């Protein structure tokens, strides 16, 4: 009887989630070579992935990205949500929609738009250089390209996170604010003592989404790669690396291994953040 | 009448699909033996019977060939599919071959990429269809690129002997001489950039194809392949000639940081800020269509030389047509390949702007005497044809050049954006290529 209800879910879950993971696990145990064909190699691919400098370089890069970009993005999103929720902002619907709008732009298109602006030859940066006779630093140079990507991702996702925070703020009972005002609490005190604790779980959720998003960084670097081929390497992020392993290197098995290792690492870190975030007090 | 034709077509299709099914069934039983099968293939009979041929190619001149072919063999239906250009198509092709279904009957494969398919035994040996009789039909470079000791892996479709394209207007305006040596080229680069800081002699953001071609011209032979035994050595004299010159251009920032085929690149070619290109003879069609506004500004000259008075050239690009082992209708596929690359098919493509790989077309008077209004009426084919004769011998690519090229910018690219020297970048590229080759079961540098 119970299976009757669970059945459809279990079937779909098995088909679209468990089966691909199972297949990736299966693939990761083999090696397919141009000369010699396919052979069973056990856990060799995992040993290789864990000691692969190209993989770790990409992982370090997204780790750095996470540490800088996620706090900046969530900080801006929180500030915007609090400002809109404060009731002191004129035209708050406009701001809410305007801040959210970039999220509706597909990541590929966003990367292209920003890529054209970053161009020092014919892009906006180039135009500014020409018009004012200055030399702005090249946003697509190896030292700045990660920050430039962070800028695109922040632009894209501030609105999304703002909306999560804002909807969490909306359900806080207004009577709490009135009580606080009667007790003589200022706006800042209301924010720190009432609003932030009230939306704590939303903050944790947004942080976890952002961590996963950072580890999966792919669209922006792979689009910008065409414009900055020497700054964005084929192992720029773990996902870009997996892609190039699989599609230009024909190393499907090793690519599956890297993807699994990356998935496990992401799950561990996201889980750790959740445990820490949900702990009381 | 038309119902009759349709019915016959349907019947033919039915026969072909049944054949295809049986062929697939055989293939899975004895994958390799199935291909070799029963001696010389009966191409004529297959044409008589008719059927469907799927062709994956991006070469625009094939459209006319398909029409002509269908007119000549009305029972054969050719479907021309653009499955992407270059790497994208190879990825799709490689995946279709790995998946065992969905592969085309004929595929366009550039010379540098053919080795990957040949070594993987994923293309038919065309000598079993009678292709060996074309040994003297094609020019040496392309023919060497599609054959090895054992087999003919494809038939050459076009070629890309290199030439020097320069914007005469820019050179005239600043009174700078068109270089004939690479030392002169560096001088011209300095002079142009000094006269107008917006002008660069050329663009370069690290392009594996262009780099290997110039090393080829300089006499470098970094790759040697004998079956699965491979040597990679970026230490020879030709390579150091190239790096010495190119390092100067990089150090003095004389190369426009614009990636080829980007919008910015076309703009630069049109407005004169990219003053020259050293590129394959297939370029005129691209200039005419992509940089139409600069018509009359550009001219063609032989490549600058590494030694004054020398006459050496190299190939840059060029493609062949190959028949994948996974093709459903191999005899028809070969018939189309043969038609498109030799005789009337080849001539019609040359007339449409392709650069020939066939001796007859290359030496024909009509070809040599063609005026190029884009180049101010210059008979540019004479320069290209001479370049084809001057191509340095014995060059070979890696059997996994597609992969090697995909990591070029990870390694050599560093020389373009950091203090890393070009020679160090090439060394890193060599090491990465050696590692990959050994992992893939080749014996590299051992």
pLDDT value at position B204?
95
Whether A38 contacts chain B with CB within 8 A: no
CB-based contact A229 B257, cutoff 8 Å: no
Residues 214-233, chain B: which have Cβ within 8 Å of A?
Answer: 228
Separation in Å, CA of A122 to nearest CA in chain B: 6
pLDDT, residue B383, reads 95
Q: Which residues of A touch B267 (CB under 8 A)?
A: 122
Of residues A119, A233, A252, nearest to B264 (C-beta):
A119
Contact B253, B432 (CB under 8 A): no
Taking residues A236-265, report their average pLDDT.
Answer: 91
Partner residue opposite B406 with nearest CB, options A33, A119, A234: A234
Alpha-carbon distance of B158 to B138, in angstroms, equals: 10
Q: In whole angstroms, what is the distance from residue B223 CA to residue A241 CA?
A: 26
- Cβ atoms of residues A202 and A260 within 8 Å: no
The residues spanned by each domain of chain B are 2-159+318-363, 162-314+382-444
B103 shares contact with chain A (CB less than 8 Å): no
The answer to whether the CB atoms of A36 and B407 lie below 8 A apart is: no
CA B161, CA B215: separation in Å to the nearest integer? 14
A127/B contact by beta carbon, under 8 A: no
Q: Which long-range CB contacts under 8 A does A108-117 form with residues at least 24 apart?
A: A108/A219, A108/A223, A110/A152, A110/A155, A110/A156, A110/A220, A111/A152, A111/A219, A111/A220, A111/A223, A111/A224, A112/A223, A114/A148, A114/A151, A114/A152, A114/A155, A115/A140, A115/A223, A115/A224, A115/A226, A115/A227
At B285-297, the pLDDT tens digits run: 889 888 999 999 9
- What is the predicted pLDDT for the residue at A1? 67
- Does the beta carbon of B440 lie under 8 angstroms from any beta carbon of chain A? yes
B162-314+382-444 and B2-159+318-363 share a CATH fold: yes
Q: Taking CA atoms, what residue in A is nearest to B443? A: A35
- Percent of chain B past pLDDT 70, that is, above it, reads 91
Residue written as token pair 């298109």? A109
Q: What is the pLDDT of residue B12?
A: 45
Q: Which CATH class is domain B2-159+318-363?
A: alpha beta
Residues in chain B: 446
The β-bridge relationship of strands B229-232 and B443-444 is parallel
Does the distance separating the beta carbons of A234 and B410 come in below 8 Å? yes
CB-side neighbour CA atoms (13 Å) of B6: 3
Percent of chain A scored above 90 by pLDDT? 68
Contact yes or no for B434/B220 (Cβ under 8 A): no
For chain B, positions 58-87, list CB contacts with chain A under 8 A.
87
Answer yes or no: do B413 and A233 touch at CB < 8 A: yes
Tell whether B436 lies on the interface with A, counting CB pairs under 8 A.
yes
Rounded to whole angstroms, how far apart are CA atoms B213 and A229? 20
Delimiting residues of CATH 1.10.3720.10 domain(s) in chain A: 52-278
Asked if the C-beta of A135 comes within 8 angstroms of chain B's C-beta atoms, the answer is no
Mean pLDDT estimate for chain B: 87
pLDDT digit string, tens, across residues B84-117: 877 788 888 988 888 888 899 999 999 999 988 8
Write out chain B residues lying below 8 Å of A35, CB-based. 119, 228, 440-442
Region B8-19: mean pLDDT is 44
Q: In chain B, whose CA is at the least distance from the CA of A247?
A: B91
pLDDT band with cut points at 50, 70 and 90 for residue A112: very high
**Residue (of B46, B257, B359) closest to A228 by Cα position:** B257
Q: Cβ separation of B436 and A33 shorter than 8 Å?
A: no
Q: Helix, strand, coil % (nearest 5) of chain B?
A: 50, 15, 35
**Of B116, B268, B413, which has the smallest distance from its Cβ to A229's Cβ?**
B413
pLDDT on residue B40: 55
Whole-angstrom distance, CA of residue B286 vs CA of residue B309: 30
CB-nearest to A33 from B262, B413, B440 is B440
Could you give the CA distance from residue A135 to residue B203 in angstroms, rounded to a whole number? 20
β partners of residue B202: B255
Judge contact between A85 and A198, C-beta under 8 A. Answer: no
Q: Which two tokens stand for residue A138?
A: 């090249």
A226 chain-B contacts, CB cut-off 8 A: 259, 262
Q: With CB atoms and an 8 Å threshold, state whether A230 touches B268.
A: no
Which of B259, B404, B431 is the best residue to mutate to test the A interface, defined by the most A CB atoms within 10 Å of its own CB?
B259
Higher pLDDT, B21 or B427: B427
Instruction: For residues B199-204, give the mean pLDDT.
Output: 96
Mean pLDDT lowest among B7-16, B56-65, B212-221: B7-16
The DSSP annotation for B239-276 comes to HHHHHHHHHHHHHTT-EE---TTSHHHHHHHHHTSB-E
DSSP assignments along B44-112, one per residue:
HHHHHH-EEEEEE---TTHHHHHHHHHHHSTTEEEEEE---STHHHHHHHHHHHHHTSS--SEEEEEHH
- Interface check A137 vs B, CB under 8 A: no
B36 touches chain A (CB under 8 A): no
pLDDT per position as a tens digit, A217-233:
999 999 999 888 899 99
C-alpha distance from A235 to closest chain B C-alpha (Å) = 8
Instruction: State the nearest Cα–Cα gap between A88 and chain B, in angstroms.
Output: 47
Q: Which token pair is B242? A: 């190239």
Most B CBs within 10 A among A31, A227, A229, hence the mutation to make, goes to A229
Tokens 């699989």 belong to residue: A246
Closest Cα in chain A, distance from residue B62 (Å):
27
By Cβ distance, the residue of B119, B205, B436 closest to A229 is B205
What CATH class has B162-314+382-444?
alpha beta
Interface contact B256-A119, CB threshold 8 A:
no
Instruction: Give me the phi and psi of B53, to 5 degrees please.
Output: -125, 125
What pLDDT does residue A279 have?
73
Most confidently modeled range among B105-109, B116-120, B140-144 = B105-109
Two tokens, residue A41? 């190699």
Q: Which of B378, B370, B343 is nearest to B359 (CA)?
A: B343
Chain A residues close to B440, C-beta within 8 Å? 33-35
In angstroms, rounded to a whole number, what is the distance separating the alpha carbons of residues B55 and A141?
41
Q: Tell me, what's the ipTM?
A: 0.83
Q: Which CATH number fits domain A52-278: 3.90.650.10, 3.40.50.2000, 1.10.10.10, 1.10.3720.10?
A: 1.10.3720.10
A35 → chain B, closest CA residue: B441
Q: Establish, for the pair of chains A and B, how many residue pairs have beta carbons separated by less than 8 Å.
A: 70
């Amino acid at each position: 009887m119970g299976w009757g209800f669970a059945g459809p879910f279990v079937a779909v879950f098995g088909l679209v989630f468990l089966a691909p993971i199972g297949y990736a696990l299966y693939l990761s145990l083999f090696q397919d070579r141009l000369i010699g064909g396919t052979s069973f190699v056990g856990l060799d691919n995992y040993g290789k992935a864990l000691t692969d400098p190209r993989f770790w370089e990409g992982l370090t890069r997204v780790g750095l990205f996470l540490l800088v970009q996620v706090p900046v993005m969530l900080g801006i999103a929180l500030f915007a949500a609090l400002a809109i929720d404060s009731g002191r902002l004129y035209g708050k619907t406009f701001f809410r929609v305007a801040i959210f709008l970039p999220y509706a732009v597909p990541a590929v298109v966003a990367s292209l738009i920003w890529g054209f602006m970053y161009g020092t030859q014919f892009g906006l940066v180039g135009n500014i250089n020409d018009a004012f006779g200055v030399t702005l630093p090249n946003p697509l140079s190896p030292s700045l390209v990660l920050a430039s990507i962070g800028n695109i991702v922040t632009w894209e996702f501030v609105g999304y996170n703002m909306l999560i925070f804002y909807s969490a703020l909306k359900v806080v009972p207004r009577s709490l604010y009135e009580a606080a005002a009667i007790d003589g609490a200022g706006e800042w005190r209301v924010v720190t003592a009432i609003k932030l604790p009230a939306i704590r779980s939303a903050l944790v959720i947004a942080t976890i989404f952002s961590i996963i998003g950072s580890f999966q960084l792919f669209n922006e670097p792979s689009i910008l790669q065409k414009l900055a081929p020497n700054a964005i390497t084929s192992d720029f992020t773990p996902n870009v690396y997996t892609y190039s392993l699989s599609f230009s290197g024909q190393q499907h098995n090793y690519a599956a291994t890297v993807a699994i290792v990356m998935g496990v690492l992401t799950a561990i870190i996201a889980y750790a953040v959740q445990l820490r975030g949900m702990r009381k007090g | 009448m038309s119902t009759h034709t349709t019915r016959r077509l349907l019947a033919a299709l039915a026969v072909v699909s049944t054949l295809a099914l049986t062929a697939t069934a055989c293939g899975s039983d004895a994958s390799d033996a199935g291909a070799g099968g029963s001696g010389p293939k009966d191409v004529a009979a297959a044409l008589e019977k008719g059927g469907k041929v799927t062709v994956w190619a991006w070469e625009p001149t094939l459209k006319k060939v398909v029409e002509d072919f269908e007119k000549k063999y009305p029972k054969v239906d050719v479907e021309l599919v653009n499955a992407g250009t270059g790497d994208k198509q190879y990825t799709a092709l490689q995946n279709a071959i790995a998946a065992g279904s969905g592969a085309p009957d004929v595929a366009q494969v550039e010379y540098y990429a053919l080795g990957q398919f040949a070594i993987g035994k994923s293309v038919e040996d065309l000598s079993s269809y009678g292709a060996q009789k074309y040994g003297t039909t094609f020019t040496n470079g392309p023919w060497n690129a599609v054959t090895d000791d054992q087999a003919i892996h494809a038939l050459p479709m076009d070629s890309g002997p290199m030439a020097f394209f320069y914007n005469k207007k820019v050179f005239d305006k600043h009174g700078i001489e068109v270089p004939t040596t690479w030392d002169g080229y560096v001088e011209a680069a300095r002079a142009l950039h000094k006269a107008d800081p917006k002008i660069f002699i050329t663009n370069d953001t690290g392009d594996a194809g262009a780099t290997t071609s110039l090393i080829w011209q300089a006499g470098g032979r970094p790759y040697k392949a004998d079956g699965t035994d491979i040597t990679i050595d970026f230490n020879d004299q030709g390579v150091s000639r190239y790096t010495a010159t190119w390092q100067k251009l990089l150090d003095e920032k004389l190369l426009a940081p614009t990636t080829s085929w980007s919008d910015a690149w076309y703009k630069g070619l049109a407005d004169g800020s990219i003053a020259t290109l050293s590129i394959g003879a297939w370029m005129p069609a691209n200039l005419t269509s992509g940089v139409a506004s600069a018509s009359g500004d550009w001219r063609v000259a032989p490549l600058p030389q590494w030694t004054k008075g020398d006459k050496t050239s190299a190939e840059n690009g060029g493609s062949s047509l190959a028949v994948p082992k996974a093709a459903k209708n191999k005899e028809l596929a070969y018939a189309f390949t043969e038609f498109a690359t030799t005789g009337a098919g080849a001539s019609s493509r040359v007339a449409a702007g392709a650069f020939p790989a066939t001796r007859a077309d290359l030496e024909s008077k009509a070809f040599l005497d063609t005026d190029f209004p884009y180049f101010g009426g210059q008979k540019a084919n004479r320069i290209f044809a001479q370049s084809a004769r001057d191509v340095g011998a014995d060059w070979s690519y890696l059997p996994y050049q597609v992969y090697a090229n995909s990591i070029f910018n990870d390694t050599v690219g560093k020389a373009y954006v950091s203090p890393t020297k070009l020679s160090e970048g090439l060394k890193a590229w060599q090491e990465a290529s050696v590692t990959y080759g050994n992992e893939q079961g080749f014996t590299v540098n051992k």
